[in-house]
Amino acid sequence: MRVQLHRAAIGRGPGAAVPALDLIVDGPVPVVVAVQTDERPMLVSMLLAGRLRCDSGRVLVDGRDDADQLRRRTALVDTPVIAEPTPGIALKTIVAEEFSFAGQPTSGRAVRSFLADHGLSGYATLPVRALPPADRIRLLSELAVLRDGVDGLIVTSPERHGGEPSQWYGPLAALAERGITVAIVTDYATAGILVSLGARDGSAPEPVPEPVPEPAPETAQPSLSFSPESAPS
Task: Quick: pLDDT tens for 132-185.
Answer: 999 999 999 999 999 999 999 999 999 999 989 999 999 999 999 999 999 999
**pLDDT tens-digit profile of 56-85?**
999 999 999 999 999 999 999 999 999 999
Handedness of CA 177, 203, 168, 10 (dihedral sign): negative
3-89+127-201: CATH homologous superfamily? P-loop containing nucleotide triphosphate hydrolases (3.40.50.300)
> Residue 6: helix, strand or coil by DSSP?
strand
Instruction: Please state the separation of Cα 78 from the chain's center in Å.
Output: 13
Domain with CATH 3.40.50.300 in the chain: 3-89+127-201
Task: Find all residues with CB under 8 Å of 150, minimum gap 6, and list them.
Answer: 72, 73, 74, 75, 144
User: What global pTM score does this model have?
Assistant: 0.86
* CA dist., res. 217 & res. 76, Å (int): 54
- Distance, in Å, from the CA atom of 132 to the CA atom of 120, rounded to the nearest integer, reads 10
